[in-house]
Amino acid sequence: MFRAHPRLKDKDVEAVYEQLLGFFKKLAGGADLEEPFSTITHKQQLIEVIIAALDAREEMGGDQHVLQNPEYRLGALNPPAQRQATRRQHR
């Protein structure tokens, strides 16, 4: 991404992160929102790349082992059954 957009700075990435964090928190709370956007071209392109990557992960079920899973704990090791299911998914 940086090679294609050398004007993208750390502060831009941080601003996009904060924008997406707020968006997804509101979305999780049930709000009906439009996707985030920026009038600054390189920030908007970063938003689009991130949203596209998240959409691709959703389509392939890449996060099913953590979504809506009461046993999952952020930062904790996954239970053995989940690790095995995850390995099978990614083969």
DSSP 13-62: HHHHHHHHHHHHHHHHTT---PPP--SSHHHHHHHHHHHHHHHHHHHHTT
Could you tell me the pTM of the whole model?
0.67
Q: What is the pLDDT along the chain (91 residues), one digit of tens a residue?
A: 667 777 788 999 999 999 999 999 998 889 999 999 999 998 999 999 999 999 998 888 877 777 777 777 767 765 555 555 555 555 5
